Amino acid sequence: MTRTSYNQAAAHDDLPAESIAWLRVTPFIALHLACLAPFVVGVSGIAIAVAIASYALRAFAVSAFYHRCFSHRAFHVNRVVQFVFAFLGAAATQRGPLWWAAQHRLHHTHADGEGDPHSSRRGFWWSHVAWFLSNGNFRTPLYRVRDLARFKELVWLNRFDLIAPVSFAIAMFALGEALEPAFPQTNGWQMLVWGYVISTVALMHATFMVNSLSHRFGKRPFATADHSRNNAWLALLTFGEGWHNNHHRYASSARLGFYWWQIDFAWLGLKALALFGLVRHLKTPPEAVLREGVKSESQAV
């Protein structure tokens, strides 16, 4: 996206494209403030366990489907499975699948350049979260995702993307209410706070760190034209997304941890789904690319 088209995206609002859309992001701010709610609702072992499971399920959906499937078409999947994981990805409260994929494709086309929605050259604050909250980045550039726009269910989910997180939040509250008779230490409000609010905010910032920290800190086994880097601890938090330099070297791979020692939980999950025939044709990097990375690492040592 060029500077001109970037500004045009916000022209309808008659506001600067790079300004923060404070009214629109009120729910985002409220979600962060709600992280203080444990002082009211308390904490329990089961609430923490559900929060971890909630984080993991949606982290997988974002990494494997929002990113690898929708953004890069790194594997094939039927429409039912595609929608189920698209819904779970939307429940992570990172907007709709078409919006997410379109912005990510723009990132790859203009990585760390003028048209990159979250270019690292514009500073940590912008690349981490300000781009996500700006007036110019709210609309979905559909011209980037025509292949996805043929699925009416994904278009619907993209248009009404709040349905998924609201449904997920209600489900967490209902789970807490259902568990309370057997586990009096928890209840609906506690489960809502831990199972949705806290796990959602944690996952948001883990995802955002791929845009900010993975373009600043880590190793670069591949000499890509951008600033992407591999970061092992971030890969653990994001189910493989921290192997960002690998990804920028060969973006169409369903496996971001190219080597056995690079832990990629989303890849392991996809392999498990493949065993049941739920996903197929998982793309992996060619041998030439793998040798290139190993050679670079050995030379660095």
pLDDT band per the 50, 70, 90 thresholds, residue 96: very high
Task: For 62-75, write each residue's pLDDT tens digit.
Answer: 999 999 999 999 99
Q: What is the pLDDT of residue 114?
A: 85
Q: Is 105 exposed, middle or buried (0-12, 13-18, 19+ CB in 10 A)?
A: middle
Whose structure tokens read 């939307």? 90
The helices-and-strands tally (H runs, E runs) of the chain is 17, 2
Task: For 174-217, write each residue's pLDDT tens digit.
Answer: 999 999 999 999 999 999 999 999 999 999 999 999 999 999 99
Q: Could you write out the three-class secondary structure of 42-103?
A: CCCHHHHHHHHHHHHHHHHHHHHHHHHHHHCCCCEECHHHHHHHHHHHHCCCCCCHHHHHHH
- Do 269 and 257 meet the contact criterion of CB atoms below 8 Å apart? no
Is the pTM for the entire model greater than 0.75?
Answer: yes
Which residues have C-beta within 8 Å of that of residue 18, sequence separation ≥ 6?
134, 135, 136
For 81, other C-beta atoms within 10 Å of its C-beta total: 16
Q: For the residues 231-244, what does the mean pLDDT come to? A: 97
Dihedral in degrees, nearest 10, Cα atoms 178, 183, 188, 194? -120
Q: Where are the domains of the chain?
A: 3-218
